[in-house]
Amino acid sequence: MKLFFSIIFIFSFSLTNAQNRNSIWCFGDSAGIDFRNPSAPIPFNSGMDGRGSCASISDSSGNLLFYTETYVSLAKTIVWNSMHDTMYNGADSIIGDGLYNELQIIPFPGNNHLFYLFHTGAHTYFDGIYYSLIDMGLDQGRGAVVLKSVTINNNRIADCIQVVKHANGRDWWIISKLSSSPFTSYNRFIVYLISPSGISQEINYDFNDAKDIDFQKIIINPEGSKIMSLRLNGFMCEYDFDRCSGVINNPQVIYPEITTPSLNRLFWEGSYSPDGNLFYVSTSRWTGVDQSYLIQYDLSVNPVSASADTLDSSLAPVGPGAIRLAPDGKIYYSRAYESPGHNSFPYADTMYNYINMNLSVINNPDQPGAACDFQPFSFYLGGKRTYYGLPSNPDYQLGPVIGSACDSLLNSVDDRIVEEIRIEVFPNPFLKTITFQSISQIDGMLKVYNKLGNIVFSKQVSGNQSLDLAFLPSGNYVIEIIGSENVFRKRIVKLD
């Protein structure tokens, strides 16, 4: 009997190999990027034409399942299948508004075929947060929308909705912000837990450090432990987020809100660097303000505001848009073409140029200053065009918080030996080297993942042997060995 090695953090059968679910981006005017080969992403043609909000999801092998957009002039959401046709039942009665961060797609926890589409009626048309349900087992695997626009909140919602994995690696938190008109004196987050049993009651977290407005964004760091809040009124604040409890606390105000527009304080979009130490912000233009900026902040500096480093400044007709961390570890920046005397959406057939036919790229986003290698308009979209938006896909690969009180899925299967697999892993805890032995034949690929689900070591192994893992930082890891009929799982601990 052969045993095949893999180390995973998501034991829910519907979410294994989730690192590939963000492989395909669809956005803008028929634009798309295929990241299945992260070292050489390629553009392709999608079916959509949207200026802002969009999201997409692939299967565990990286193949596109479906994508979605909000369409501003029709005030609705459209769902597209993998053939780039409108999904069955996916074109009518799905609420949307046409802004920039209104959509999120997540797998239904514990189900292989169902997917949630969360959407909002941000800004003007339909107040609230809604969900629709998509069944990929229908229409010969192309999917169908089976439930539409179910209300879970009927308040006025800001232009921001995000989701992040629960600490158990299976469930999800959905996070958004309230908005209101006239503006109110609170700063309210709203949080829900999505589990196999459904959607929880709403949890609220109020802070008195700013007023709620329509145009604000929230960005979650790669570890899922921080939330950055940005607003056009110059407010920037980072909060702690507990993936176990869903608690948001410890606000660290980087900039308080302002009443007079400031060129570099019209915060529009943002992205954390892959290591979470740097933060990138794009600023918007406003009435009488023609210039926009791309700014890098070092979050280790106190105060953070003192680290502001302007990487780029642009005048009209460059319209600043979304910044997104991509599967290849780079950050992509979308900028629309705002031609004087013409609408920037939809583009006229003659409106093709370097601004809307390319994305700008930060090639080394973990590096400070010029070393981050910002290259404006450097990724060619294959003849297609972008507007202001890029997909707001969550980090599907984020695993459980190993060893936490909420690591219930892992704890329920830890150290489980089924039938007659006899494998010894020692020493445990270990300092440098770990040995595995079995009376059965061992032949397969060994992969080591850190707590975020990233591969830190891989090797083809055959037979009993020792591995030098001295390079790993101290912490908790999990090993899972899968045979043709049996399963062995073990938590291992690396010491300093």
CATH number, domain at 333? 2.130.10.10
Structural domain contains residue 481? yes
What lies within 8 Å, CB to CB, of 306 at 6+ separation is none
In the prediction, which pLDDT does 340 show?
Answer: 80
Q: Are residues 305 and 451 in the same domain?
A: no
In the prediction, which pLDDT does 41 show?
Answer: 97
In the prediction, which pLDDT does 279 show?
Answer: 98
Q: Are residues 368 and 464 in the same domain?
A: no
Q: Are residues 221 and 318 in the same domain?
A: yes
Domain count, the chain: 2
Q: Are residues 263 and 372 in the same domain?
A: yes
The side-by-side arrangement of strands in the sheet containing 129-135 is 103-107, 114-120, 129-135, 144-153
Q: Are residues 207 and 273 in the same domain?
A: yes
User: Residue 206 sits in which domain range?
Assistant: 22-380
Please state, in angstroms and as integers, the Cα–Cα distance from residue 85 to each residue in 188, 345, 346, following that order.
Answer: 38, 21, 19
Between vectors from CA 347 to CA 342 and to CA 348, what angle results, nearest 5°? 75
**Domain of residue 424, CATH code:** 2.60.40.3080
The residues of the chain scoring below 50 in pLDDT are: 1-18, 410-421, 484-485
Structural domain contains residue 229? yes
Please state, in angstroms and as integers, the Cα–Cα distance from residue 416 to each residue in 71, 449, 492, following that order.
Answer: 50, 19, 13
Structural domain contains residue 8? no
Q: Are residues 371 and 417 in the same domain?
A: no
- Residue in the structure block whose two tokens are 């196999």: 196
Structural domain contains residue 2? no
Q: Are residues 339 and 449 in the same domain?
A: no
Structural domain contains residue 232? yes
Q: Are residues 328 and 437 in the same domain?
A: no
Q: Are residues 369 and 416 in the same domain?
A: no
Structural domain contains residue 424? yes
Q: Are residues 375 and 412 in the same domain?
A: no
Beta strands 198-199 and 187-195 are antiparallel
**End-to-end alpha-carbon separation of the chain, Å?**
36
Structural domain contains residue 386? no
Instruction: Report the alpha-carbon distance of residue 118 to residue 476 in Å, rounded.
Output: 33
Structural domain contains residue 452? yes
Q: Are residues 447 and 315 in the same domain?
A: no
Which of 330, 364, 380 is the endpoint of a domain? 380
Backbone torsions φ then ψ of 412, nearest 5 degrees: -75, -20
Taking the whole predicted model, whether its pTM rises above 0.85 is answered as no
In the prediction, which pLDDT does 290 show?
Answer: 78
Instruction: Report the alpha-carbon distance of residue 205 to residue 198 in Å, rounded.
Output: 21
Q: Are residues 221 and 365 in the same domain?
A: yes
